[in-house]
Amino acid sequence: MEHHIMIGFFVLLPLVAFVLSLLIPDGHETSFSRLAMGSVSLQLLGITGYIIYWIFSGMHPVNIREWEIYNNGHYQFLLDFYFDSLTAVYLWVGAFITFLITRYSRFYMHLEEGYKRYFNTLLFFYLAYNVTVVAGNFETLFIGWEMLGIASFLLIAFYRDRYLPVRNAVKVFSIYRIGDIGIILAMWASHHLWHENITFIKLLDGDLVSEQMSAHGGIGLFIAVCLAIAAAAKSAQFPFSSWLPRAMEGPTPSSAIFYGSLSVHFGVFLLLRTFPFWEHQLMARILIGGLGLLTALLAYAIARVQTTIKTQIAYASIAQIGIMFIEIALGLQHLVLIHFAGNAFLRTYQLLVSPSVVAYMIRDQFYHFKPKPIRLKDSFSKRLAYSLYILSLKEWNLDTMLNTLVFKPVKRLGRKLDFLTPKNLLQYFLPLYLLGLLLYFNQGVIPETIQYYIPGLFGFLGLMMVFKAFSERNHPRLALMLVMANHFWIALAVSFNETFDYKQTLIYLSGVVLAGGTGYWILNRLRNKEKDHFDLNQYYGHVYEHPKLALIFLLAALALMGFPISPTFIGVDLLFSHIHEDQYVLAAFNAISFIFGGIALIRIYARLFLGPHIKNYHTTALKSS
Amino acid sequence: MAHRVSSGLDQVIHELAHYLPAQSPLRDFVHHNTLHAFQRLPFHEALQDAAENFGFKVYWNLEKYRAQFHEKKINAEILKRVIISHKGADDLAHWTHRLLHQPLSDYPESRVGQIRKLWRKAYNLNLDKEVHQTLFRLVSSYLDQGIAIWKFPAKTNGLLAGVRELEKNSFSTFIKSERARKLFLDPHTQLEDLLQLLVGNDKYHGQYLYDQQFAHPGWSGMVAVLEKNESSLLDKRKICLKDLIFLECLLEIDALDRRRGNGWGALAEWIPTDLPLLFGKSRYSEFFDVHKLWQEALEWTYYDQVIRGLQLSHEEDFQKAASFQAMFCIDDRCCSIRRYVERFDPNAQTFGTAGFFNLPFYFQPEHGKFLTKVCPAPITPRHLIKETESNIRHEKDVHFSKHTKGVFGGWAISQTMGFWSALKMAKSIFFPAETPAMVSSFKHMDPKGKLSIKNKKQQQHGLQVGFTLEEMTDAMEGLLKSIGLVKGFAPLIYVIGHGASSVNNTHYAGYDCGACSGRSGSVNARVAASIGNNPEVREMLTERGIHIPDTTQFVGGLHDTTRDEMEFYDEELLLKANRRLHERNKQTFDTALDYNAKERSRRFHTVDSSQEARKVHEKVKKRALSLFVTRPEWNHATNALCVIGKRENNRHLFLDKRAFLNSYDHRIDPEGSYLFGILKAVAPVCGGINLEYYFSKVDNDRLGAGSKLPHNVMGLIGVANGMDGDLRTGLPLQMVNIHDPLRILITVEHYPEVVLKTIKTHEQTYEWFSNDWVKLVCIHPESKKAFVFKEGAFAEYQPVTQTIEAIQNLDELLANTAENLPVYQIS
């Protein structure tokens, strides 16, 4: 029971603090910092006390079935918490660093516009952190994981009236979400593997795991690869590394806590958490170790040529995380934990004192300067060195590569649907969808071979809608409607699979309709007010004049993308449980459209509401600043 | 682009460089007028010009002015006066209405950027996005002073040459398109050729370059500064703006080739014929007129009180023999410490003068590999002072070490030292203490070290080591006469320089003494005191009519304005009697420092100012060591005033740390020759500081550096936001929060005709006054009438303010307020 209370407390306390922080009006600096400081200190005390107690009571992993949100007999959505030594270390390090950063920010942020927003986001992040760390199953972990993504977006775009932070925030959010495809597919596959939403504690049962694995080796590897992708994205490993330095746009302490220490180590966390699952798969271990090794080498070279202090620390940290991946692959779990904590502390402190580097290094140079010798006569080694230098300066094209391999093709596909406009969308969508429904109710008439392909086809239609939404340039409302349309296609596609309760579809689509409707209404209002500045070609910064619309739209967009504030969140998972084990393609389509739908929505939000304000009666920053 | 830029690209680039921000690398941060390029125009005209051409916001928002008016911080009577003087009494009602109720409107769209914007329209390409990242990285790698572990591998005798060498000898390249590569590697390619490809019409080439460079004024400005002043970098780099432009044009061609293949052509055909030309004639604008009137009303509301205050002389109150005398820097931060010194020893006499104490030289600390300039930026010293027998050692901090960034080093360090970092971090957050990373004004020089003050016929680095007797005497005579201290010498004369301490502050150099090129003033103070004590110098001074008694001794010292601490130099040389006096004076200084810290704390918000002075002082000291404090002190914020005259004539006024105070006695200088020396320095130095604050305040986004919280250090030379941002110039938001954008008012106590003659002797100095970049008022020494300098002549000014309130409970007021205070009489 005491476990139950304490672990629940570790999630509830940040939640309460976050909610309270929303209620405090702007301008009350002391109230914010007291609230944040009070709750984080209490949390740190609680965690420290509990860990001691837990150690003395034998360090047995604790699993708590906290709250059953949904259950229809076959499927159950359960909030499940789990506590073991991994949880303990992450929980404590997180609480300690957050505790310091909270205190630090109380003064550092003084007089800054957005003081409230900063502390809101920080507490939100902390909540997400704790949820993820104490999660006992994939579903719970995914809730935290999604919240982390949003918190990141908000903190990177903290200076929302400048161009680069907003652009980079969207970029980082996109890469995070690409990684999330891995998690969604892993959840889906593991659901089929275990025929239930497996809790992490069950993975400790070695016999169970090895028995399942021997029967389903392929799916095991598939899950491992998906997890590796998710982990690599979150921890800025190859090929996703380039997002980390670009995330250093917020106030220094927020960069320190997020990208120096806590957030960036979540890939490591995910791998450690799921280690019992893939430890017997040699291929997976080689893959993860290799990923780490490659990243460590590249990041090391890139770090050496960085001329800015924060990006240098970022790449140095990436290299260390690469080594952590290797350590995990080698099975050195305890070492990884030490490495994680040390690296987190070191990088946090390095980032916090990064402005001091000017005074320190210049003084050092003043007293110890030695001119740089230029050697390198031999032409081949010189060529090699120069090439390495240039490649490192170009970050080994990691940034452009991701763009060319992922985002550009998606845009190109989306452009194929350029004939769609807000006016004619329904003309195309309704008849097609009605046809789909018609088919659905008359499944008997469709030959079986065709029936087999129908879910995939509809899934593909939905995917295309999302791609079009993602690449839309002119009509924000069209983009929003396309994302909604996608959800409808997915629902229909899955419905073909098996007959299940309409209620489940209802759960799923109710959120879509409500959130989508709200979003549409907001966009309409904005369009009426700002006719001349309403498209997706550039950033307009309307949040300057319409902060309320911006906030409501953000909430609507989050709900629509299946964020855990709307029933759609459960619906998504529920629907995935109806995708068959052999329908890789449909699962992939759905996962991808789910992910890109989210990106498309954030893109609408960013382009309309964030960035330098289009109006000129107050100061605005240069785009390059 | 209109007339001025047509004669050859070199000329264009030369002028372009002039318009770019002229901010040196961080270690040499010196305040200057942000819009120096417009200084040849009258202030308000220049502002309109700058706004229309470059899109800067040059005034406060209308809402701000109106709010000030409603809070009675703009005097209605003065506003009326301003309107009448500009618009005539008949239109008063009309203009008052405009000022108060005209709806907000947009600034005009800037002319710069119009051509380059066409790329997007023509080829749907965001060239900035394609080019900036690569360009910034190349330049930043080339200029880097020590952040990168792997330094720019090619030679550094030119940016283009360096990049060319890299590109030629590498398997991987930045420039991918065949054509661009050929152009780049062909040594005969001229900038004109590239522009022909890009723009294709001579008429617009110049303006295109403005567009291009003003898309990233930070880097361009840095390059332009380094081109002129190579010595700003310790690790020398040769670079010129033309190279940067050439490289950028090339990258543009490359980007267009890569992205649009053969499908693009020069921009000329897309340029509309009615494109607004850069520097074209600007038309009358009511928008700017309204702002101008508000601005003047805001300024004169404050000036008016000051002028009235200065007219109320209390000179006769301060006629007793001085218990001690102390020279401070003219700096506005010394304004309050002097007030407290005088309060706790009413017989003390304080003086203000530029903090290099008339001794321009380079300083070389022991083991220093370079020279440090310690005099105002425009002066080029001929002397060198060397330090020997110094015991200062700088500690190392492994957090800045390159080993933490390697693979194995990082691996070992993060698992061991990482945990130490945690402790260190916790300690520095809860119990701030000195660290190797901090900047302390007291570390500039070892007080126990030896200085080579006397010239021994030695030359080094092309400079003369130490001063000759003649030079020393000249300097001392000049110093004493310019501040009016030629008789009535007290037993102890303090010469107190100032400096600042901070930690985690990239702009630390801007906090030190501006008259010492952004360094601590300790060496100058110590050298000045030593020269003052030199018997041979005294002998020669006596011959020149300045007799300093043998019992009088000079003591050098340093005031740390952040921590409010003082140290004194060579105390062991004091005579026994003087030593006793010195001990007593030290107590006066200590009390004054406590109270000064308490007064400053009212602006810090995060410190409770109502406590006992000593306690508040402890907290203020701690702030200076705290990593998270972004405002260790307010530096020159709120500056608005420069008073040149006898201290006795302004000692009765409370000026709230807003005034630069320069001591000057017109009776010693009837011809105004010392006055000329003072004004020649004061106008550009105080005016420069003041205008930098002004512009950083009114447009912190473009003319200031924005919030410093996200700043990222680039190559040790500048700061930028995030990874790929442009360098940010000007002052960060955290330096100007409490500043009110007022032009500085310089008041001179002398006869108007002498002042007029004096300012006209030097054209560059005169420009500051004649174009109204600083305001000048002359106070007649006898009649106390005030004369305003306006359109080349002095005109009498009658203040609206009649009485200046005598404040009884200043301490209480200070403890309970955080805003700018009006002028009071100290009772």
Question: What is the full DSSP assignment across B484-529?
Answer: T-SS---SEEEEEEEE--BSS-TTGGGGSBGGGTSB-SHHHHHHHH
Which residues are CB-contacts of B334 (< 8 A; sequence separation ≥ 6)? B328, B352, B498, B559, B561, B661
Per-residue confidence band for B6, with pLDDT thresholds at 50, 70 and 90: very low
> Rounded to an integer, what distance in angstroms lies between the CA atom of residue B691 and that of residue A23?
41
Per-residue confidence band for B355, with pLDDT thresholds at 50, 70 and 90: very high
CA–CA distance from A452 to each of A143, A191, A447, A457, A585 (Å)? 32, 22, 9, 10, 12
Q: What is the pLDDT of residues B679-734, one digit of tens each?
A: 999 999 999 999 999 999 999 999 999 999 999 999 999 999 989 899 999 999 99
User: Considering its fold, how many domains does chain B have in total?
Assistant: 4
8 Å CB contact between A481 and A516: yes
Residue B102 burial (C-beta neighbours within 10 Å; 0-12, 13-18, 19+)? middle
d(CA A524, nearest CA chain B) in Å: 25
B144, B160: one domain:
yes
Residue at B125 is within a domain? yes
The pLDDT value recorded for residue A502 is: 76
Q: Which of B477, B585, B573, B572 is CA-nearest to residue B532? A: B477
Which residues of chain B have a CB within 8 Å of the CB of A617?
A: 61, 104-107
Last residue of a domain, one of B585, B602, B635: B635
Arithmetic mean of pLDDT, A133-143: 92
Among A64-68, B74-78, B643-647, which stretch is predicted with the lowest mean pLDDT? A64-68
d(CA B422, nearest CA chain A) in Å: 5
Last residue of a domain, one of B610, B635, B660: B635
Report how far Cα A612 is from the mean position of its chain's Cα atoms. Answer: 25
CA–CA distance from A220 to each of A223, A271, A554 (Å)? 5, 14, 37
Of A312, A359, A390, the CB nearest to B174: A390
Task: Please report how the helices A282-305 and A309-330 are oriented relative to each other, as an axis angle in degrees rounded to 10.
Answer: 160
Q: What is the pLDDT of residues A242-283, one digit of tens each?
A: 999 999 999 999 999 988 889 999 999 999 999 988 888 899
8 Å CB contact between B213 and B245: yes
B624, B656: one domain:
no
Task: Kindly state the tokens that stand for A194.
Answer: 């275990």
Arithmetic mean of pLDDT, A381-388: 91
Residue ranges per domain, chain A? 2-355, 397-609
B506, B537: one domain:
yes
Residue at B297 is within a domain? yes
B642, B756: one domain:
yes
Alpha helices in B650-741 (DSSP H): 673-698, 733-736
Arithmetic mean of pLDDT, B276-283: 90
**Which of A259, A307, A338, A384 is the best residue to mutate to test the B interface, defined by the most B CB atoms within 10 Å of its own CB?**
A307
B592, B476: one domain:
yes
The pLDDT value recorded for residue B231 is: 83
Last residue of a domain, one of B635, B665, B682: B635
8 Å CB contact between B451 and B438: no
Looking at the predicted structure, is the pLDDT value of residue B7 above 60?
Answer: no
Among A327-336, B100-109, B271-280, which stretch is predicted with the lowest mean pLDDT? B100-109
Q: What is the pLDDT of residues B412-468, one digit of tens each?
A: 888 888 899 999 999 999 998 888 888 899 999 999 999 999 998 889 989 999 999
B660, B716: one domain:
yes
Mean of all residue pLDDT scores within chain B:
93
Looking at the predicted structure, is the pLDDT value of residue B90 above 60?
Answer: yes
Per-residue confidence band for A375, with pLDDT thresholds at 50, 70 and 90: low
Arithmetic mean of pLDDT, A352-363: 92
d(CA A8, nearest CA chain B) in Å: 27
The pLDDT value recorded for residue A500 is: 66
B119, B204: one domain:
yes
Q: What is the pLDDT of residues B62-73, one digit of tens each?
A: 999 999 999 999
Longest dimension (CA), chain B: 89
> Rounded to an integer, what distance in angstroms lies between the CA atom of residue A281 and that of residue A214?
10
8 Å CB contact between B185 and B165: no
Per-residue confidence band for A202, with pLDDT thresholds at 50, 70 and 90: confident
B330, B306: one domain:
no
The pLDDT value recorded for residue A376 is: 62
B446 part of contact set with chain A, CB < 8 Å: no
B700, B674: one domain:
yes
Looking at the predicted structure, is the pLDDT value of residue A544 above 80?
Answer: yes
Residue at B604 is within a domain? yes
State the complex-level ipTM: 0.94
Task: Kindly state the tokens that stand for A191.
Answer: 């659901």
> Rounded to an integer, what distance in angstroms lies between the CA atom of residue A399 and that of residue B713?
22
Instruction: For B227-239, give the DSSP string.
Output: HH-GGG-SS----
- Identify which of A491-500, B575-584, B598-607 has the greatest average pLDDT: B575-584
Looking at the predicted structure, is the pLDDT value of residue B331 above 80?
Answer: yes
B520 part of contact set with chain A, CB < 8 Å: no
- Taking CA–CA distances from B421, the nearest residue in chain A reads A346
Task: Please report how the helices A547-560 and A584-609 are oriented relative to each other, as an axis angle in degrees rounded to 10.
Answer: 180
Instruction: For B50-101, give the DSSP string.
Output: HHHHH----S--HHHHHHHHHTTSS-HHHHHHHHHHHH-GGGHHHHHHHHHH
From the CB of residue A503, how many other CB atoms can be counted at a distance below 10 Å?
Answer: 11
Which residues of chain B have a CB within 8 Å of the CB of A389?
A: 150, 153, 166, 170
CA–CA distance from B78 to each of B84, B509, B658, B747, B777 (Å)? 10, 38, 21, 19, 17
Tell me the residue type at A99. F
B307, B221: one domain:
no
d(CA A105, nearest CA chain B) in Å: 7
Per-residue confidence band for B3, with pLDDT thresholds at 50, 70 and 90: very low
Task: Kindly state the tokens that stand for B7.
Answer: 């004669």
Which residues of chain B have a CB within 8 Å of the CB of A339?
A: 411, 414-415
Per-residue confidence band for A564, with pLDDT thresholds at 50, 70 and 90: confident
> Rounded to an integer, what distance in angstroms lies between the CA atom of residue B520 and that of residue A584?
70
> Rounded to an integer, what distance in angstroms lies between the CA atom of residue B507 and that of residue B754?
40
The pLDDT value recorded for residue B259 is: 92
Bridge partners, B711 (sequence order): B721
Of B170, B415, B627, the CB nearest to A383: B170
Per-residue confidence band for A570, with pLDDT thresholds at 50, 70 and 90: confident
Three-state secondary structure readout of A301-316: HHHHHCCEHHHHHHHH
Arithmetic mean of pLDDT, A533-557: 95
**Which of A117, A356, A369, A378 is the best residue to mutate to test the B interface, defined by the most B CB atoms within 10 Å of its own CB?**
A356
B747, B807: one domain:
yes
- Taking CA–CA distances from A538, the nearest residue in chain B reads B126
Q: What is the pLDDT of residues B115-156, one digit of tens each?
A: 999 999 999 999 999 999 999 999 999 999 999 999 999 888
Residue at B824 is within a domain? yes
Q: What is the pLDDT of residues B176-202, one digit of tens each?
A: 999 999 999 998 999 999 999 999 999
The pLDDT value recorded for residue B4 is: 45
Structural domain span for residue B425? 403-430
The answer to whether the CB atoms of B235 and A371 lie below 8 A apart is: yes
Q: Angle at the Cα of B555 (from B549 to B560), degrees rounded to 5?
A: 150
Which residues of chain B have a CB within 8 Å of the CB of A255?
A: 710
Residue at B461 is within a domain? yes
Looking at the predicted structure, is the pLDDT value of residue B5 above 50?
Answer: no
With a pLDDT cut of 70, the percent of chain B lying above it is 99
> Rounded to an integer, what distance in angstroms lies between the CA atom of residue A302 and that of residue A389?
8
The pLDDT value recorded for residue A499 is: 67
Per-residue confidence band for B2, with pLDDT thresholds at 50, 70 and 90: very low
Q: Which of A570, A430, A574, A418 is CA-nearest to residue A501? A: A574
Longest dimension (CA), chain A: 87
Residue at B22 is within a domain? no
B605, B691: one domain:
no
B737 part of contact set with chain A, CB < 8 Å: yes
Q: What is the pLDDT of residues A458-509, one digit of tens each?
A: 999 999 999 999 999 999 999 999 999 999 998 888 888 776 677 778 888 8
Q: What is the pLDDT of residues A3-15, one digit of tens each?
A: 888 888 999 999 9
